[in-house]
Structure 1
Amino acid sequence: MDPLDQHLAALGEAIGPFRPVAARLADWGTELARHLGTGGRLLVAGNGGSAAEAQHLVAELVGKLRADRAPLSAIALTPDSSVLTALSNDYGYDEVFARQVRAHGRPGDVLLVLSTSGRSANLLAAVRAARECGMRSWAMVGPGSSPVGDACDEALRCPSPESQVVQELHLVAVHVMCEYIDLALPEVLGGGRRKGRMAMDRLVIVGDTLLDRDVEGVVRRIAPDAPAPVLDEQHVHERPGGAGLAALLAAAEGRPVALVTALAGDAGGARLSALLTAAGVEVHALPLPGATPEKNRLRANGQVLLRLDRGGDPVPPGDAPPGVLDVLGDAAAILVSDYGRGVCQHPAVRAALAEATAPIVWDPHPNGPPPVAGVQLVTPNLAEVRALSGDAGKGSTLSTAQRAGQQLRQRWRAAAVAVTCGAEGAVLCHAGPTPLVVPPAEVATGDTCGAGDRFAVTATVALAGGALVSEAVQAAVRAATDYVRAGATAVLEPPVPPAEPGRIGAGEAGRVIAEVRARGGTVVATGGCFDLLHTGHLATLRAARQLGDCLVVCLNSDASVRGLKGPDRPLTGQDDRARLLAALDCVDAVVVFDEPTPEAVLAWLRPDVWVKGGDYADGGPGLPEADLVRHWGGAAVVVPYLDGHSTTRTIAAARATADSRR
């Protein structure tokens, strides 16, 4: 047979079976669009003809395939002859790609390797290096099982025994994948604030939040009925603790911050929500059964006399409401601040963290779960390292930190472990045999409460900005030292929410709900814009109040109303709308929220009954938030509107009257 006919015949035989195999290219292209479009990176490697395909792919991404678009970060590990020959000479040819992966890869990035045989030792070493760095690995290989394809997270296996045909199908796959990238990019790059600039800036904190309360006073006498000092209370300072403190520290740097946590539906949960929101933290809450965990420190002259804890043993959070964990997919970096109370053990939370592409810093707790595989940095302190590793701590602090830190790094499959050692700084254990010791510039003495959070937050911020792990740890040691020197949490004064009129605010709603639930009552909630309050609204609110023992109104803020109704609404500002609602005898509390829908506020209110008025029955659209309310066993119901009354109709009539008088 003529060579041309023979080659085309082999190619034709492969195209049919290739079609179903190539279906995964749509998923790869969409995933790369999301990852590269929000600042991530693709590394590509291959040998021989596959090296040319790797460079071809990079050219299409850094340049363009068809229409002009933003350049995307992709690096071919093949074209630099100086790097290749230096690495081959110094480390052997099997390491020429692996060392570049360790240099350029970040957790969540993607390594794509191309090979017709799937047996190249240097590609296999590169895949192993990617796993150590917390990267994902994909392969385009020939048919059947192969060491390289089997070692990767996903593989596209081209169905032909001819290596030339496999390479040609690889080129087809490269072009098709780029087509899918370009199709998905507009949504990523132009999808608004959530997936645009804010997505690249936002830090996401994940973990357990507590309410910390410092009771300051003076001791002048001993109790007559017991040998105990009597503390005369002077003032009380409340702040979020645990992951909430980490969120406050991050928000204080002026970056967008989201907190994924669990909040109870009591006054403590409402207080935490109010404090975090006032500090600029976006709260995404799972329901927490039971009471808010509290740490009450009784202090005199700066010394802690006693700590009183409330909230009991940890209780697992409930099911994650729909959309709560989506924020992890949009993060610039993620800090997991585990305080051992169940958020980081939650299956849905762990699954979302495992799928996240952003760099992850994990601050562990001895009572918590291990980090998900592939995190960029874990930050235990020396005591935690000893407890988690079982190391008795023989020898110096340095030798213990190095020995136990490396053990945990390998067990957790983490890129690096930074063991914080208090006044001695930190010891960074990474893939190399020699640790990096980072002592503080000077020893700081004082209250160390929150110093570990300060360390972890600073490291996360640095990694979000593209710093190396070593640079992030050095910055974190400096920040933690300065934090202790400045007085730790004593200098952290989160904005205090302004005093609200009666019945308005998260704190007031939490108090009302806690009282109703304490006596076994039913909590009812409703929501809306309530612009130009009219008798139709009043009928709906009164009907809702009759369904339980209290009614909480979730009120769209001015910004939320503008997003829903247009730039000309609301006609009445949120403060006035809240006061009018709170003045009604059928309304027990009003909570203002900024999002388009009230999912976030409902997640911690957890009403027994959610009420909407309107056309959600009789063939109309489904009741919003119904599925969310059912997560905690609540019910969603509809009450009828009062015919002939609506805000839109009232505004239209007023404008028509005004126009007729001109």
Structure 2
Amino acid sequence: MTADASSTTDYLNRLTTALDELDLSRVADWGSRLARLGGNGRRLLVAGNGGSAAQAQHLTAELVGRFQTERPPMSALALHAETSSVTAISNDYGYEHVFARQVRAHARPGDTVLLMSGSGRSANLLRAAEAAREVGAVTWALTGPAPNPLAALVDEAVTVTAQAVSTVQECHLVVIHLLCAAMDAAVAAREAVAADAAGSGPPVPPPSSTSSPEPVGERRPAAARGVRANLVVVGDAFLDHDHLGRVERVASDEPALVVAGGTTHKRPGGAALAAVLSARQGHAVTLVTALGRDAGGDRLRTLLDEARVEVVDLGLDGPTAVKTRIRAAGRTLMMLDEHDVCPPVGREGETALAAARRVLMAAGGVLVSDYGRGVAAHTDLRAALAEAARRSPLVWDPHPRGAVPVPNTAVVTPNSREARGIASLAGSDTLSDDVEAARAVGRAWGPVQVALTRHEHGAVLLADADLAPLVVPTRVAAGRKADPCGAGDFFAGHLAAMLAGGRLPSEAVASAVWAASAYVAGGGPRFLDDPPDGGSPMAGLANAEPAAAARGAIELARAVRARGGTVVAAGGCFDLLHIGHVRLLEQARQLGDCLIVCLNSDDSLSRLKGPSRPIVPAAQRALMLEALASVDAVLVFEEDTPEAAIRALRPGIWVKGGDYSGMKIPEDELVGSLGGRTVVVPFVAGWSTSSLIESARTLR
């Protein structure tokens, strides 16, 4: 082989490797969301420099025009193409503001801003991401290798693991074409559902009785088969009322609390809440349910439409069920359940059932959110669910009055109490009793994997009744006034989405536990009051797993701020963790509602301390810090200073050790400009990483 041929082969091998590592499930999800973005009259703004600018304009041309199939045009702007604006802004404000000022001018809440960069470090793109967050737009990024500042700053990122910029840009072009293809498919699917609902087109054939199911434990994930990882939620929908008041006295004539004043918030409940929570995580969601034709049903339809949840309505035989919670001082005092069980009647006949079968057959993942009111027990619908379970992962969230899961269900998700009821077991919420309850459920409903949720203690996954369980504890402290309502729905929806994206059940359950923990820590259902996709504190929790720790830290900070809490942050190398570090972090945590540690990466630490450092790699340092009760999250930064991390977190309090007492703190001005305050806490004298290293060398 000649030298030229060898270099060509090496180049193609690097490109193939980079393409194989692309997050295709996220790209497909972005395409689906672009379809909804255009359908709701919102727009996409794209920005990049150099070659990325050309690709940005390529993408917008495909969206305004067409890619492969005919569809309505979508509003999409390439910001660099506004040459007069680019030159005027650069001249008057500096090139680093060239995109940020356009974002502030053009972007509206709910719009999406896509930033493209080979390095992920361009100052004008970082400013644009900050501007997009300020106006309530969703931020995406296409970048080179992670971690990088831009990927850490935006809501979601697709990164390319390649050192050559040319390879990164070629992968970005592939992503652009995949985005357009996924958008075309999503638009076509939406139009097909609408046609079915209107009664046009032939009904989908009933499921075949001759197809043979794949074994549950060996089923290939949907993403591996190339199926678009959209999510279908099936179940009973309610309208929930949350009345938030205050308790100032006890009634004089009987021992009852008197709730005074307050406000009532209306939101989706039951399977409708599960669907909205999944949509808020960025998934394309269709809800198959039965809605009443009354004021409550109309309100529920409006709420689902605002959350961008597509609905297939089977029709309800009676009024919409309404559940009311009376809450005060961060606790639920009473729950009212209005209306008896009203089963679905199939008001639209075969038309609605055909539409339901169609979306189930095309689903990347299915969640059955059974609340015991008849949807999951519907005979024809169950046949379609059983067939869908052969094609894609199906998660069944059961109810004590609900139906038995259909054959080929991948995972069932009872909580501790539900599992004991299903298995007719006594016991408490201890780990031992929960494992035995999960075993009993697995034997009663098997073969099926059981993910038993344990409230604030996390979850247990039992892949087989005769094997040892996987125990996943929670990772985010919920706080004294956390509202756990919807945590089970959030867990089940996140689990279904992870399985649809090709994750193993063990990975999916761990991710779902951490995501549900962050949801509770962020105020539970309160975040539904925020505009969808407009900087919601829970946006993007589909990636709440260890590999996305930086993103999880940013989401946690947003969530705590959204509920009025104080974000505390501290920074450092934390190489060889010692008692001085532990005391510093314990004191810092007491100053607010969460503590996030900004940690120097390995390269950053080497530049700061010399080539012999770090002693402990960043991934291990982060794990040790996260193991401390005082630490809620860790954000690893690559720069020499934590400036970008501070901008992303916007802490209310930035903490330094007592050795900075009486000194000018470098981060003080930046923290103050973001509305925060820098403080110093006492330190433990005589302890430092450098002295520990020197002592070790002396002993050796």
TM-score band, normalised by the shorter chain?
0.3 to 0.5
Bigger Rg over Cα: 1
